[in-house]
Every structure is written in structure tokens, then in C-alpha cells.
């Protein structure tokens, strides 16, 4: 009977996840409700049997029955509501290892539950315990990456934690229960910051990020808010801090995942309330659900473009200064950046502006070239500030600079600096691989992701030309690291992710030789735990 109940529960959960992946909202809710009903029936039956045994004096039989039947059934809610809130990683590990939905490798799920408990209430002792449990598992997979991200969150590094947890999407090893917990943490963090588009980005990759009831609720709230201009503005700053999506999209293409259906419109009020009823902690989530139901389109903000249009015909220099101030204090976008640069271009090329600056310099008794020098310095300062703004907000200057001398100057500054930094960083990595100076495997992954984020920002800012120049160094350094990890260190999951990224980049920049090498490596079968033969191409 115990086995039949558990089989039905697992089947109900699986059907709910499959319906969620297919974008069938009603089916997901129905299967989730069926699984919850089965869990309730199972709990009542088991409690009744335990009570019966105690009543007839068979307490010695009631104890093992309660342990064997009820622990798997209630392990998940106890781990979430008790162990996590208490910050008890050992208890969370014990429960996660015995939960019904843990799947074929319960140790991986247990590790993430323990790390989640530490993230809720961190301490040096519990962090050290989770790190030791992670290192004991040996090779790195999605569970180890997610657990490391949660430990980083426990230490206060939320940005690093987000990047680390999201990097699990690139790994060939996939534990659905691990991804559910990781996606729920990311969704909650994004909701706290107002980064609603990040939630919907993951909702479009359901095979990679299966949804829990909480995640599914937040996805519906995000879809409602994304129709609200105010929410879009509020999430712009949070989105600008996100790592580039190049690597994530490359990983999705490698696995052939496709977006789910049903995300072309927000859920209705009734659907959103149904999701809220399915999710836990209803009292805490109801205020934001009410906000999502009542979301309305807000008025458009004042931008650099509107300011330029209003006063450019009166005073070009004043318009440029006002547009620059609006860009610094308001909503930053590619259009606003281009409008500000255009205002500076008009002001610096305006004859009246030049005459006024030169006359002012002559009136002050300055040298004859002082006026021209002041205009050049003003242009350099404006270009430097726009370059910094574009880098901070991930705006590609290369795509905007063709018609603007000022943006062309800003793009050249960015390109020169970023390419120099990338060359130095990739050379350090290549030298370390050549001299066989290993880092711990998880630190190899962290360092590589930091390097790839710099590469993505440089490619975005400098365009295809810089991307091609930088890929030459990435091909040599990261390729060497991938070979080392596969052949000598047994980190096949990490190595495969690196090869898949290199193959995707080689395709983008048009390097046929590199594409052939890395695509061949990415097609190798990835052993998850056993040691493979040395098959890697050099």
C-alpha cells in the first residue's frame, strides 16, 4: 500500500511538471491538486494506522511504520518549513535524501536542501559543513554548482550567487529536483529585486528550470507585471546587473530546448488566484498577488529623447547637458544613449556654440588654442561618461556608433580597454593550464564564468570585430582548460559545458577550424560519475 501511494504521488508530480513544461496551465494546476490530494489521503491513512497500532498496544510496530511511511511523505514540507527556517543543514540533508521527489540521486537533492538551509540562517559552522558535504561528492555537477551558489548567498554575495546558480543551466547533468529548488530561489530573488523579465526568461526554458508551485506563482505575477510600464522601469536597474545571456542561450541551443507555450499573454485573474492557492505561504504572497491583479500601465517616463526634442532648437549645448543629466538620473536605454550622443554631436558641431566658447576664452585672456582645447576636453569627458554608462547597463555601442562621432569615440575607448583586459586574463588562464596549476574544480568554474562575463560584456560593447579578436584568445585558453578537465581531472560535465560554449562562439564569429574541434568535443557522451576513456580531441 505504501508503494502504491508513493507511485501515485510521484506520477502526479511528474505529470504536473510535464504539463508545466508544455505550457498547459490548467493541466498543471489539476495534476498538482491531484498530487496534493493523494498526499493528504496518504497522510490520513498512515496516521490512522499508527493510531490504531498505538490503540491496540502495538506501539513497537507504530514507530517503524511512522518512520518508513511518513518521513518520505512529509520530508519535503518539513525540510522547507522547519529545517530551512531553522538553518539546520544536517536535518535538511536527512530529509532531502528521503523525500519522494528526490529522484535517482537523492544525495544531490539533499546537498541542495542543506545549502538552502544555510542560506536562510548562515553560520560559519553550517557553511563549513555544507562545503565539506559538497567536496565529499567529488566531481562537479548541477547540485554542486547550485549548492555553491547558495553558500555564496549565505556569505552575502547575492550577485555572485545568482550568476553561479544560473550557470547550472549550461551543464549536461540535470537533476529535476535540484533545478526546481534552484529555480525557486532565483525566482524569489528576482521578485524581491523587481527583475520580472529574468523570471520569464527561465519560464521559457521549462526543461532546464522545472517549476515548483511557488515558482509557477511568481511566473504568473511576472507576466502580469510585464504589462506594466512602471514594473519594466523598476526592473531595468536589476536587469542591468545580470550576467550576459550569451552563455545561457548557447547552452539552450546545445541541448535543443524550446520555449514553452502559453507565455504570449499574462494569466487571467482566476488563473493567478489558482496558482496562489497551489503555492505555500499564501499570507505572505497575497499582497503581491493583489498588486499583480491590479497592475495598470503607467505613464511613460521623461527620457533624454524627449528633453532633446523639447529644447534642442533653443540651445544645443543646454539640450546636450540636460539630456546627459536625464540619462544619468533616469531610464537608461540604447535609444536614450543614442539621443544623448546626438545632442552632444549637434552641440559640439554647432557654429554658435564654438563661437561662444572661443569668445569666452578670449575675454578671459586665455591662450589662442584654449577654446579648442576646452571643446576637445568636453567631448572626451562626454565620450568617457557615455562609455561608462553603456558598459554599466550592457548597451552595445558598436551598433549605435556608426552615425555618431562621439559614440564612435566612446566605443573605441571601450574596445581598447576591454580587449587589453581580456588578452591578459586569457593569457593567465592559458599559462596556468600549461603549467598544470589547478584550482579546486568549483573555483575553476567560478573563475571561468567571471572571465566569460567579461568576454560577453566586451563583445556586446565592441561588436563582432572585438568578439573575433577576443575569441582567438578564448579558443586557446578555454579549450586548453576543457581538455585538461576532461582527460586528466575527470570533470566531464564542466568540460562539456566549456566545449559547447566554445562551439557556439566559433559559429558566431565564423571560425570554421575552431568550430569543428569544439563541436566534436561537445558531441562526446558525457559520463556523469564513472571514469571515461581518454577520447578528447586536441
pLDDT band for position 42 (cuts 50, 70, 90): low
Q: Are 42 and 9 in contact (CB under 8 A)?
A: yes
pLDDT at 262: 42
> Please, which pLDDT band fits residue 477 given cuts at 50, 70 and 90?
very high
Region 25-52: mean pLDDT is 66
* pLDDT of residue 535 exceeding 60: no
- Quote the CA–CA distance of 75 and 100 in Å, as a whole number: 8
Rounded distance, CA 486 to CA 496, Å? 8
Sorted by sequence, the CB contacts under 8 Å of residue 168 that are 6+ apart come out as 142, 145, 146, 149, 178, 179, 182
Nearest-angstrom CA–CA distance, 501 and 236: 27
Residue with cell 490512522: 48
Give the pLDDT band (50/70/90) at residue 364: low
418 within 8 A of 454, measured Cβ to Cβ: yes
User: Residue 357 has what pLDDT?
Assistant: 64
Least confidently predicted of 331-345, 428-442, 457-471: 331-345
pLDDT in tens, 81-98: 888 888 889 998 988 887
For cell 583586459, name the residue.
421
526, containing H or E segment: none
Q: Give the Cβ contact number of residue 264 at 10 Å.
A: 7
pLDDT recorded at residue 527: 82
Specify the length of the chain in residues.
538
More confident residue, 467 or 354: 467
State yes or no: pLDDT of 245 exceeds 80: no
The x, y and z cell numbers of residue 458, run together, are 566586451
Q: Are 508 and 467 in contact (CB under 8 A)?
A: yes
Higher pLDDT, 513 or 304: 513
Residue among 298, 280, 278 at smallest CA distance from 227: 298
To 5 degrees, how large is the angle CA 241–CA 390–CA 370?
Answer: 140
- Residue 54 main-chain phi, psi, to 5 deg: -65, -40
pLDDT of 298 strictly over 60: no
CB 195 within 8 A of CB 242: yes
223 and 267 Cβ atoms separated by less than 8 Å: yes
Which range, 26-40, 320-334, 418-432, has the best average confidence (pLDDT)?
A: 418-432
Q: For residue 407, is pLDDT > 80? A: no
Query: Is the pTM here over 0.85, yes or no?
Result: no
Q: How confident is the model at residue 260 (pLDDT cuts 50, 70, 90)?
A: very low
73-82, 208-217, 398-407, range with the lowest pLDDT = 398-407
Which phi and psi angles does 313 have, rounded to 5°? -75, -15
Identify which has the larger pLDDT, 89 or 413: 89
**Segment 37-48 mean pLDDT:** 68
Which of 16-20, 30-34, 152-156 is predicted most confidently?
A: 152-156
DSSP state of 377: H
Nearest to 33 by CA among 348, 292, 275, 283: 275
Residue whose C-alpha cell is 566658447: 357
Distance of alpha carbon 514 from its chain centroid, rounded?
Answer: 27
Residues 6+ apart with CB under 8 A from 355: none
Percentage, residues of the chain above pLDDT 70: 68
Q: How far is CA 352 from CA 77, 347, 357, 497, in A?
A: 72, 9, 9, 58
Per mean pLDDT, which range of 171-175, 416-420, 448-452, 453-457 is the poorest?
Answer: 416-420
Reported as a single tens digit per residue, the pLDDT across 481-491 is: 999 999 999 89
Asked whether residue 20 carries a pLDDT value surpassing 80, the answer given is no
Which of the listed ranges 69-73, 303-307, 384-388, 469-473 does the model predict with the highest average pLDDT? Answer: 469-473
For residue 315, the surrounding DSSP H or E stretch is none
Going by pLDDT thresholds of 50, 70 and 90, the confidence category of residue 73 is low
Q: How far apart are CA 167 and CA 145, in angstroms?
A: 8
Q: Enter the C-alpha cell of residue 479.
A: 579549450
For residue 399, what pLDDT is reported? Answer: 57
Judged against a pLDDT cut of 50, whether residue 523 lies above it is answered with: yes
Q: What's the pLDDT score for residue 299?
A: 45
CA dihedral of 317, 322, 328, 334, whole degrees rounded to 10: -80
Q: What are phi and psi of 353, to 5 degrees?
A: -65, -45
Amino acid at each position: 500500500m505504501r508503494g502504491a501511494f508513493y507511485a501515485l504521488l510521484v506520477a502526479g508530480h511528474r505529470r504536473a511538471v510535464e504539463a508545466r513544461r508544455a505550457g498547459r496551465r490548467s493541466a498543471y494546476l489539476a495534476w498538482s491538486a491531484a498530487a496534493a490530494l493523494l498526499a493528504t489521503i496518504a497522510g490520513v491513512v498512515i496516521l490512522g494506522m499508527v493510531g490504531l497500532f498505538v490503540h491496540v498496544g502495538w506501539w513497537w510496530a507504530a514507530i517503524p511504520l511512522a518512520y518508513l511511511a511518513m518521513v518520505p511523505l512529509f520530508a519535503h514540507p518539513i525540510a522547507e518549513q522547519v529545517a530551512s527556517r531553522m538553518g539546520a543543514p544536517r536535518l535538511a540533508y536527512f530529509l532531502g535524501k528521503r523525500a519522494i521527489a528526490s529522484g535517482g540521486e537523492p544525495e544531490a537533492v539533499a546537498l541542495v536542501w542543506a545549502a538552502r538551509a544555510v542560506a536562510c540562517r548562515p553560520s560559519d559552522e553550517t557553511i563549513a559543513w555544507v562545503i565539506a558535504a559538497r567536496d565529499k561528492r567529488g566531481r562537479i555537477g548541477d547540485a554542486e554548482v547550485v549548492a555553491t551558489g547558495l553558500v555564496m548567498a549565505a556569505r552575502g554575495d547575492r550577485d555572485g550567487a545568482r550568476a553561479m546558480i544560473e550557470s547550472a543551466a549550461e551543464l549536461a547533468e540535470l537533476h529535476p529536483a535540484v533545478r526546481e529548488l534552484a529555480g525557486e530561489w532565483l525566482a524569489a530573488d528576482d521578485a524581491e529585486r523587481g527583475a520580472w523579465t529574468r523570471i520569464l526568461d527561465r519560464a521559457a526554458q521549462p526543461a532546464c528550470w522545472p517549476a515548483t508551485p511557488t515558482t509557477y506563482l511568481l511566473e504568473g505575477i511576472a507576466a502580469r507585471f510585464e504589462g506594466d510600464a512602471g514594473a519594466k522601469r523598476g526592473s531595468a536597474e536589476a536587469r542591468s546587473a545580470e550576467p550576459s545571456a550569451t552563455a545561457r542561450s548557447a547552452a539552450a541551443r546545445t541541448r535543443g530546448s524550446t520555449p514553452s507555450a502559453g507565455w504570449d499573454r499574462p494569466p487571467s485573474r482566476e488563473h493567478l488566484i489558482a496558482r496562489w492557492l497551489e503555492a505555500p505561504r499564501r499570507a505572505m504572497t497575497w499582497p503581491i498577488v493583489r498588486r499583480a491583479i491590479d497592475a495598470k500601465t503607467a505613464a511613460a517616463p521623461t527620457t533624454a529623447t524627449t528633453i532633446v526634442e523639447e529644447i534642442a532648437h533653443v540651445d544645443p549645448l543646454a539640450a546636450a547637458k540636460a539630456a546627459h543629466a536625464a540619462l544619468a538620473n533616469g531610464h537608461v536605454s540604447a535609444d536614450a544613449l543614442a539621443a544623448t550622443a546626438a545632442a552632444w554631436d549637434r552641440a559640439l558641431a554647432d557654429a554658435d556654440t564654438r563661437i561662444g566658447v572661443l569668445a569666452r576664452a578670449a575675454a578671459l585672456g586665455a591662450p589662442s588654442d584654449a577654446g579648442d582645447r576646452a571643446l576637445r576636453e568636453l567631448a572626451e569627458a562626454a565620450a568617457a561618461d557615455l562609455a561608462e554608462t553603456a558598459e554599466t547597463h550592457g548597451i552595445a555601442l558598436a551598433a549605435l556608433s556608426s552615425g555618431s562621432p562621439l559614440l564612435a569615440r566612446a566605443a573605441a575607448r571601450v574596445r581598447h580597454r576591454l580587449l587589453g583586459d581580456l588578452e591578459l586574463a586569457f593569457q593567465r588562464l592559458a599559462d596556468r593550464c600549461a603549467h598544470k596549476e589547478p584550482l579546486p574544480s568549483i573555483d575553476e568554474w567560478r573563475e571561468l564564468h567571471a572571465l566569460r562575463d567579461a568576454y560577453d560584456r566586451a563583445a556586446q560593447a565592441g561588436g563582432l570585430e572585438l568578439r573575433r579578436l577576443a575569441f582567438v584568445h578564448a579558443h586557446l585558453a578555454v579549450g586548453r582548460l576543457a581538455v585538461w578537465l576532461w582527460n586528466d581531472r575527470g570533470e566531464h560535465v564542466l568540460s562539456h559545458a566549456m566545449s559547447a560554449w566554445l562551439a557556439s562562439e566559433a559559429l558566431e564569429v565564423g571560425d570554421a577550424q575552431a568550430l569543428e574541434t569544439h563541436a566534436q568535443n561537445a558531441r562526446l557522451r558525457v559520463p556523469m560519475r564513472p571514469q571515461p576513456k581518454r577520447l578528447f580531441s586536441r
